[in-house]
Amino acid sequence: MSKQTYKVCFCCRRRFKLTVSEAPQEIKALFGNYSENGVMTSTHLHRFLVEEQKEDKATIQDAQAIIDNVRPMVVFHKSGLNLEGFFKYLFGDLNPPISPKLGVHQDMTAPLSHYFIFTGHNSYLTGNQLTSDCSDVPIKHALQKSVRVIELDIWPNSSKDNVDVLHGGTMTSPVELIKCLKSIKEHAFSASEYPVVITLEDHLTADLQAKTAEMITQTFGDTLFTPDSECFKELPSPESLKKHVMISTKPPIVYREAKDANEDSLKISKDSGDEEAWGKEVPSLKSHSQKHHDLDDGDDDEEEDELDDDINKSKKFVAPEYTRIIAIHAGKPKGGLSEALKVDPNKVRRLSLSEPQLEKAAIQYGKDIVRFTHKNMLRIYPKGTRITSSNYNPLVGWMHGAQMVAFNMQGCGRSLWLMQGMFRANGGCGYVKKPHFLLNSGPNGEVFDPKIKLPVKKTLKVTVFMGEGWYYDFKHTHFDQFSPPDFYVRVGIAGVAADTVMKKTKTLEDNWIPAWNEEFEFPLSVPELALLRIEVHEYDMSEKDDFGGQTVLPVWEISEGIRSVPLCNREGIKYPSVKLLMRFQFI
């Protein structure tokens, strides 16, 4: 690519010179330091990997393997890399920001409550929460992305003799339960061998519960985990549950008519136009902690399965075979939140709170929530008004130790990108170990206080050198009709309130291969919960900016040094060529 023409009108054309991607000055300087007579040998490269990339375990053989890999792409150099080869290596697929060698590297033998789990909400919906089709296809897609918690809302079918999955009280068209179960069976372990939890939102009669139990037992056979006793004192580990499916729901309730259901979710709210491309800006945690709510008015967004306490007292129609397959009991005891958050040393359970309930609860009960989640499971779900299947800031749940921050996986936008970013950690297996301060009480019973402002533990220094690949992955008029694109980068942190910030580079006009060469510092008080957010925008004076790619990286897994960061589209799928050259340093 050397020249590019944009048609402005019949007779005039604007021409722009296209430059070839050239190594930034700093990389030229590094090449100078780690080469002799223009050649970087395996010894030089090894020294570079150890000293600059902080890869202490790298060997000369590793360095040689890189050279052998890069060599076919550049002018042949018998004894090593030239500058072009070195730059190709740094800005290529062999040099990602999270090392694939890490794999599943965390301890997987702790109780399930010690992990954040990749969790779906209404996993059967193909689109919005009101009128979209129910299908097993989104379940399959979620499992293929390592989502480990699948939610099914189960209802009697129209002739009341079989079980359907649908969003009760809405216009969503149902799918048969058996179809969803078979899809889970087929795809559960295609991306991760760690356990899949099916959370059931149950609206069945006792005979249909019995039928459901039989379908589940038949479909999953030996892979279904059934507990020996009714409840656990401590949950089993992901390691011990490998390749198993487990059920979590409330112990049986009696049937209620569908018309009662989810009336609260029919309120229609409109998203702003910007959300189409980017998703809403992740709501600030700071504003949450400043709000003061009365906890008692927080029941507007309750989900079905939490509304049934009175009905649940009627145990007349209990199906024992259904009760037997429930591995993690769900439910909210009567008596408000302080009661619900009480820890029973002899029994673990799962509690569900909607996002506004959590935000309100966090103001008064922050530490109680954290203590509850040491052993018990906490699930957070989107408020009922998110009818477009949008999501919310997952950090609120994570910093309170919530294992199951349930998301609408079929959507897109900034909140979902954070979710995807979190679960890039630990080999992408769908389980990420919670930081140590969220696991246990201290010697005097003290627990992590999500509201407290902690001192800076370390600082992440990020350099944005340059980007490339748009020219290959987009039509040349995609960004601007009459000229090359004008890119800038937003980079920042999603984490605890004190660490959360976004910064941006300058806009570089009319350039397919922008080189910003800008440096940013992010002081982190809780690096264990920090996600690095990266967005590329294409600036437009008269309209909204165009989307140019995004990614989110778990800070604690980022490899130091100069790295090639692949960017993803709005759905989180990697572009073939779009990437940024960046440097990460912890100081």
* Interface map 39-68 toward Ca ion (x if CB under 5 A): ------------------------------
Is 105 part of the annotated catalytic residue set?
A: no
User: What CA–CA distance (Å, rounded) separates 363 from 195?
Assistant: 33
At its nearest, how many Å lie between Ca ion and the CB of residue 507?
Answer: 9
When asked if residue 306 is in the footprint of Ca ion (CB under 5 A), the reply is no
At its nearest, how many Å lie between Ca ion and the CB of residue 578?
Answer: 16
Size of the site for Ca ion (CB under 5 A): 8
What are the CA-CA distances from residue 535 to residues 40, 277, 484, 493, 499 (Å)? 33, 12, 19, 12, 18
Nearest to 521 by CA among 532, 513, 512: 532
When asked if residue 483 is in the footprint of Ca ion (CB under 5 A), the reply is yes
Nearest to 198 by CA among 249, 131, 129: 249
At its nearest, how many Å lie between Ca ion and the CB of residue 242?
Answer: 48
* Interface map 89-128 toward Ca ion (x if CB under 5 A): ----------------------------------------
For tokens 């306490």, name the residue: 309
When asked if residue 470 is in the footprint of Ca ion (CB under 5 A), the reply is no
Q: Interface residues for Ca ion in 514-573 (CB under 5 A)?
A: 538, 540, 546
User: What CA–CA distance (Å, rounded) separates 327 from 249?
Assistant: 8
When asked if residue 479 is in the footprint of Ca ion (CB under 5 A), the reply is yes
Question: Which of these is catalytic: 114, 167, 187, 374?
Answer: 167
User: What CA–CA distance (Å, rounded) separates 573 from 491?
Assistant: 19
- Three-state DSSP at 462 gives strand
Strand order across the 487-494 sheet:
501-504, 487-494, 531-538, 546-554, 561-568, 574-586, 458-468, 515-524
Candidate residues 151, 302, 486, 535; the one interacting with Ca ion per rule CB under 5 A: 486
Q: Between residues 158 and 542, which has the closer beta carbon with respect to Ca ion?
A: 542
Q: Between residues 8 and 73, which has the closer beta carbon with respect to Ca ion?
A: 8
Strands (E), 66-220: 115-117, 149-156, 163-165, 175-176, 196-202
Q: Between residues 308 and 545, which has the closer beta carbon with respect to Ca ion?
A: 545
At its nearest, how many Å lie between Ca ion and the CB of residue 484?
Answer: 6
Q: Interface residues for Ca ion in 147-186 (CB under 5 A)?
A: none
Is 167 part of the annotated catalytic residue set?
A: yes
User: What CA–CA distance (Å, rounded) separates 163 from 122?
Assistant: 16
CB atoms within 10 A of CB 210: 18
User: What CA–CA distance (Å, rounded) separates 279 from 291?
Assistant: 23
Q: Between residues 339 and 540, which has the closer beta carbon with respect to Ca ion?
A: 540
* Biggest distance spanned by C-alpha atoms of the chain: 86
Question: Which of these is catalytic: 46, 114, 121, 537?
Answer: 121
Residue nearest to Ca ion (CB): 483
When asked if residue 480 is in the footprint of Ca ion (CB under 5 A), the reply is yes
At its nearest, how many Å lie between Ca ion and the CB of residue 284?
Answer: 28
Q: How many CA atoms lie within 13 A of 114 on its CB side?
A: 19
When asked if residue 302 is in the footprint of Ca ion (CB under 5 A), the reply is no
At its nearest, how many Å lie between Ca ion and the CB of residue 511?
Answer: 8
Q: Is 549 exposed, middle or buried (0-12, 13-18, 19+ CB in 10 A)?
A: buried
When asked if residue 473 is in the footprint of Ca ion (CB under 5 A), the reply is no
At its nearest, how many Å lie between Ca ion and the CB of residue 4?
Answer: 12
Backbone phi, psi, residue 364, to 5°: -95, -35
Q: Between residues 274 and 540, which has the closer beta carbon with respect to Ca ion?
A: 540
Chain residues that interact with Ca ion, rule: CB under 5 A: 479-480, 483, 486, 510, 538, 540, 546
Provide the annotated active-site residues: 121, 167
